[in-house]
């Protein structure tokens, strides 16, 4: 009998989401639990997939990072230098895969989401997916393949032109590595650093949203100039707010300033096509199938 189930692990900094899906990539079962210690979290992950072991054809893991995705590297499958306590230099894939005989695929969480969004959009094979949350990451796909060379891309840490308001306040963001990168200037913690108020409690008419939108729009301009995607998808809680999507679209158009032809901005700068944060799970099912057929 052929094995018919595909496994997905979305390994996030705050929670792990494990799922198995059928041949049509429909979710058969899905669980999530908080990301605690590596030992405890990985044990729960193994326990979940063990239930389906006899029918699993492959598993794909999309992880927070940075991670090592170079199959020729000694530390392939590791989470490398993460600011998350206890998780640096953890052999995530090795510690899970040692209990299974099936093939594993390993990539970033945002690459998994990007892949899921390509799967969900007919005729699209050039796409950039950003998540705007407590951190910012992006996955880029060109002609159906991930962009990356010796490692995965880290578009959340590109340097930005400072908004005049940040310039006046000498605010350069909260990233411990960079003075003035996208994540440091536009992820959730930057909102609180500017205002002293948690992002979700800031009034909709606060100027801080325009500041944040300015940076997210710059990211969309960069993605356009670098990759010429068919669509740019913004996931994460912040962009689920209609007012933010509009601000980003308006600022994107102003910043690009007609330099290149792009699709209508309402078709071009969008939120995920897969409902309920399911992009990464769908992407992982497809990647698990790919690795199983290799």
Binding region for Zn ion (CB under 5 A)? 157, 175, 177-178, 181
Q: Which is nearer to Zn ion, 62 or 184 (CB)?
A: 184
Closest distance to Zn ion from the beta carbon of 156 (Å): 7
Closest distance to Zn ion from the beta carbon of 10 (Å): 22
Closest distance to Zn ion from the beta carbon of 190 (Å): 11
Q: Please give the Cα distance from 147 to 168 (Å, whole number).
A: 36
**CB distance 69 to 151 below 8 Å:** yes
C-alpha 171: how far from chain center: 26
Q: In a 3-state reduction of DSSP, which class is residue 2?
A: coil
Q: Which is nearer to Zn ion, 134 or 253 (CB)?
A: 134
**CB distance 41 to 272 below 8 Å:** no
**CB distance 277 to 120 below 8 Å:** no
Q: Which is nearer to Zn ion, 160 or 175 (CB)?
A: 175
Closest distance to Zn ion from the beta carbon of 291 (Å): 31
Helices 208-227 + 188-195 axis angle, to 10: 150
Q: Which is nearer to Zn ion, 160 or 288 (CB)?
A: 160
Alpha helix segments (H runs only) across 143-201: 164-168, 182-186, 188-195
């Amino acid at each position: 009998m052929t094995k018919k189930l595909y496994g997905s692990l979305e390994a996030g900094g705050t929670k792990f989401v494990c799922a198995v899906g059928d041949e049509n990539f429909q979710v058969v079962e899905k669980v999530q639990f908080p990301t605690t210690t590596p030992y405890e979290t990985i044990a729960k992950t193994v326990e979940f997939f063990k239930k389906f072991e006899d029918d699993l054809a492959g598993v794909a893991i999309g992880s927070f990072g940075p991670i090592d995705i170079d199959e020729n590297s000694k530390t392939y499958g590791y989470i490398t230098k993460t600011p998350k306590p206890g998780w640096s230099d953890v052999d995530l894939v090795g510690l899970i895969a040692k209990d299974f005989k099936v093939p594993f695929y390993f990539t970033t969480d945002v690459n998994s989401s990007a892949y899921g969004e390509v799967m969900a959009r007919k005729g699209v094979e050039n796409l950039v997916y950003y998540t705007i949350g407590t951190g910012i990451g992006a996955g880029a796909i060109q002609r159906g393949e991930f962009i990356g060379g010796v490692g995965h891309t880290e578009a959340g840490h590109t340097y930005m032109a400072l908004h005049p308001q940040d310039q006046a306040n000498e605010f350069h963001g909260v990233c411990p590595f960079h003075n003035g990168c996208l994540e440091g200037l536009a992820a959730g913690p930057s909102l609180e650093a500017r205002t002293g108020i948690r992002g979700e409690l800031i009034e909709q008419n606060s100027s801080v949203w325009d500041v944040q939108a300015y940076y997210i729009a710059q990211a969309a301009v960069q993605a356009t100039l670098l990759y010429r995607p068919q669509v740019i998808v913004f996931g994460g809680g912040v962009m689920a707010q209609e007012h933010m999507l509009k601000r980003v679209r308006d600022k994107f158009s102003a910043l690009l300033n007609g330099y290149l032809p792009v699709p209508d901005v309402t078709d071009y700068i969008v939120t995920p096509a897969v409902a309920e944060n399911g992009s990464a799970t769908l992407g992982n099912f497809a990647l698990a199938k790919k690795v199983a057929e290799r």
